[in-house]
Amino acid sequence: MFQLAPSILSADFSRLGEDVAKIEKGGADLIHVDVMDGHFVPNISFGAAVMKSLNGKTSLPYDVHLMIENPDNYLEDFVTDNTEYITVHVEACRHIHRTIQHIKSTGVKAAVALNPGTPLSSIQWILGDVDMVLLMSVNPGFGGQKFISSTVEKAVELDEIRREKELDFRMEIDGGIKLDNVKQVTDAGIEIVVAGSSVFGAEDVIGRVEEFKSLYR
Ligand code: DX5
Ligand code: ZN
């Protein structure tokens, strides 16, 4: 059983509330919130105000993915009653251990993300501190990119480390996920699957979320 986290990066921003209502109706588990600053990644998306416009309109938890430099300066902005996870990139944090503790101090779950080219060894000494590891299966910045298949091997290795060390963080994957590669990544140990264009690009968004969810029931 995996959790589905549709990314609102690919939603219709002029009808964000309606799009979120659709994924909720279809059975999504989380709302993946992609925040981009134009520095860490070559694109700008939206900030906390857009996320907070959903407060009170959905009961789905927020899965906040910060693709920004200096995330410590903005963490508190993303803490709401709906916020379940805040994820920062190891590549964007000079003091990742400190930043993880900072996230936890706000009362939400702390997660770390790795770009496709970043080795697992970069997070070796914080694996016991995080609630989740996000493996990027595309280079962050845009929706609709092609899945980088080496991420599957990375997930298998991370799952092995998790078992060996008896740790209990969740594993999430993000980028290029479609109906036809979900099984491959969940078999590799992934428990939370992000999907942007393959959910919101569908003609029938509710039906597409149901299709995703039916894959593992
Ligand atoms: C990429 C974002 C992803 C993106 C996924 O930088 O972090 O969450 O929205 O989009 P798809 O599923 O279209 O690859
Ligand atoms: Zn994301």
Vertex 158: Cα angle to 178 and 84 (nearest 5):
65
CB under 5 Å of ion ligand 2: residues: 34, 65, 174
User: Is 34 tagged catalytic?
Assistant: yes
pLDDT in tens, 172-182: 999 999 999 99
- Return phi, psi of residue 164, to 5°: -55, -45
Kindly state if the Cβ of 177 falls inside 6 Å of ligand 1: yes
Residue burial 197-206, b: 16+ Cβ < 10 Å; e: rest? bbbbebeebb
pLDDT in tens, 180-201: 999 999 999 999 999 999 999 9
Ligand 2 centroid, distance to 83 Cα (angstroms): 15
pLDDT in tens, 56-75: 999 999 999 999 999 999 99
Distance CA 11, CA 166 (A): 38
Ligand 1 centroid, distance to 213 Cα (angstroms): 18
Question: 122 to each of 55, 74, 109, how far by Cα in Å?
Answer: 35, 23, 20
